[in-house]
Structure 1
Amino acid sequence: MASPRIIMKLTVTAARKEPGDVLVIDLKHPRKPVLPAFEAGSHVDVHLPEGKVRQYSLCGDPTELGRYTIAVKRENDGRGGSAWIHETIAVGSTLPVSAPRNHFALKPGEGPTLLLAGGIGITPILAMARALARQAKPFELHYFTRGRALTPLLEVIEDDLPGGNVRIHFDDEPQTRQNIAALLANRSDDAQTYYCGPPGFMAVVGRAAQHWPEGTVHFETFQPPEFDGAPPEPFVIELAEGRVVEVSAETTALAALRAAGVPLMASCENGVCGTCECAMLAGQPIHRDAVLSKEARGHRFIPCVSRATGVLKLDL
């Protein structure tokens, strides 16, 4: 059964505008000097009015446990969360924030790490670069942006990271451009790559990294994957106690479970945050999320978007 997650009412102690219509926010606990620890790649759920929940990567230094730092890009065509934050949040504001979760963790190893970020996708990648630099592990960070005047967190990157490890590529400065396919053409022994950014960037990197061995390429996406448009079919969920929940073709597994009285938490409801993740005991799932690894897909399930064929048994 899903358990409630810790929600903390944190105070905004700093809020600064960055290029690219990005607001960088520092959050601290009003009474406790230390926040729950996080690893590079982690994100938090920010709870907004009217029940809205949005996920933002922590881009600060994981060793600084007194504050969380998030960077929010205003999306005028989005669902309204980023606009509310930009228009409302100021120093002294209070934001309900979850304890950190991580679906994009660095894998242990001593080999070189290639970090690729596009636009606001720099947020989890920056935390990874900080962690690798602190551990004196070999890495390269390649940051792809439209132009210097539109690049958020540029000053932070230049001040906090070793210059020899960082390459910044501006679309409007030909001398800085980098072909992603060429960058990923040759893989060093034991190398891992991590990437995050807008859909077009994600597609380019994904294609360029297809020849890398399984388990060496890791990504986090802000958008759900696209599917072939095949109409969904009804299926059945069997709960651990033996009760059966029918999922029609017109509804999601998450909605059907909630209607049956299963108090399953959810946030994005489009398969990118992992809040509603649950254990799968048996069955033939149709995974449609952008969270679970290939290994996890053998025993985990994301009911907000994923479906199944026949009977799916969940540990709920």
Structure 2
Amino acid sequence: MASPRIIMKLTVVAARKEPGDVLVIDVKHPRKSLLPPFEPGSHVDVHLPDGKVRQYSLCGDPMDLSRYTIAVKREQAGRGGSAWIHETVAVGSTLPVSAPRNHFPLDIGQGPAMLLAGGIGITPIVAMARVMERLGRPYELHYFTRSRALTPLLSVTEQALDASNVRLHFDDEPETRQDLESLLAGRSADAQLYYCGPPGFMAAVDRAAAHWPDGTVHFEAFQPPERDGVPPAPFTIELRDGTVVPVAADTSALAALRTAGVLLMASCENGVCGTCECGMLEGQPIHQDAVLSKEARALRFMPCVSRATGVLRLDL
């Protein structure tokens, strides 16, 4: 089931290739001069002709609502969405795009920001850096890639931001390398950490920041975490009215709820967009999404990928 959010048919007004097999796309509304506002960390859904939906972070300037800018990395082992965009989208194309939504908000009032990006994970991070700089708030941006030649949005990062706030780290340039554990070992008072990137990078930052206090670490992942390899087991969902919904081992909680007549909205169904998020009242969940924070996991549940042990009571 697709998201019920507003879907706009936007016109591609610019498309350029970036290093790292990335296509940067600007879209505008064909009639309206301004698009719905967004905050740094926001993403949009792009609806593909085959019915698939893909999420892309907005990497443009939040103050410029004349256009949205997304950057799409071609994933050779992906599910086909990025390949279709790279092969089909050009200036003049029409893309169905949702209104923005934010599961990775920047809290400007919470002290200095440590912004970490790995590869294409720069997309939400650069929007955050733009806002921090415009407001005169302290921040550091550390951008990690394999090499300068494969770094997407490098020119934007270097030209739009104060160089004194930006650190570039390339695997093939030893003098620029930075050990994550050393970088995150110390924490200035009130600092907040925001990071985004591929799975290996995300896991490395998670380990290096394990000692940071709860509520100070924020992230956005493009893929759900690796499963633990344990075969899924059946469990039971109980709704507010007492309805019992069995979830078989080979069925997602989302599919079981739909079969029971619970119309939950969903989009990616892969644990990364947050569309199907719902409240949780009681039970032992097995969280397998890449959206909910540690604090949110005490009260929220993502039925597209997450499971449970025994009986899970949901606020549905």
Give me the TM-score of the superposition, normalised by structure 1.
Answer: 0.95
Q: Deviations over 1:79-100 (max 9, x none)?
A: 1000000000001111111111
Residues 295-304 or 39-48, more deviating: 295-304
Structure 1 contact 142–167 (Cα < 8 Å) conserved:
yes
Question: % of aligned pairs identical?
Answer: 78
Structure 1 contact 110–137 (Cα < 8 Å) conserved:
no
Report what 2:210 is aligned to. 210
Q: Is 1:54 the counterpart of 2:48 in the alignment? A: no
Distance in 2, matches of 1:115 and 1:80, equals 30
Q: Is 1:188 the counterpart of 2:183 in the alignment? A: no
Which runs of 4 or more aligned residues in structure 1 lie more than 4 Å from their structure 2 counterparts after TM superposition?
A: none
Structure 2 contact 221–290 (Cα < 8 Å) conserved:
yes
Distance in 1, matches of 2:110 and 2:98, equals 32
Report what 1:230 is aligned to. 230
Q: Deviations over 1:219-277 (max 9, x none)?
A: 11112112322232222223334433221112010111122232222222221111111
Structure 1 position 22, deviation (Å): 0.4
Structure 1 position 308, deviation (Å): 2.0
Report what 1:80 is aligned to. 80
SS in 2 for 1:205: helix
SS in 1 for 2:132: helix
Segments of structure 1 that go 5 or more residues without pairing to the other structure are none
SS in 2 for 1:51: coil
Report what 2:143 is aligned to. 143
1:91 aligned partner, one-letter code: V
Q: Deviations over 1:120-151 (max 9, x none)?
A: 01001011101111111000101111111111
Structure 1 position 24, deviation (Å): 0.3
Q: Is 1:157 the counterpart of 2:157 in the alignment? A: yes
Distance in 2, matches of 1:211 and 1:126, equals 25
Segments of structure 2 that go 5 or more residues without pairing to the other structure are none
Report what 1:301 is aligned to. 301
Structure 1 contact 270–305 (Cα < 8 Å) conserved:
yes
What are the equivalent positions in structure 2 for 1:38-117 lying under 5 Å apart? Answer: 38-117=38-117
Residues 79-88 or 284-293, more deviating: 284-293
Report what 1:134 is aligned to. 134
What are the equivalent positions in structure 2 for 1:238-257 lying under 5 Å apart? Answer: 238-257=238-257
Structure 1 position 3, deviation (Å): 7.4
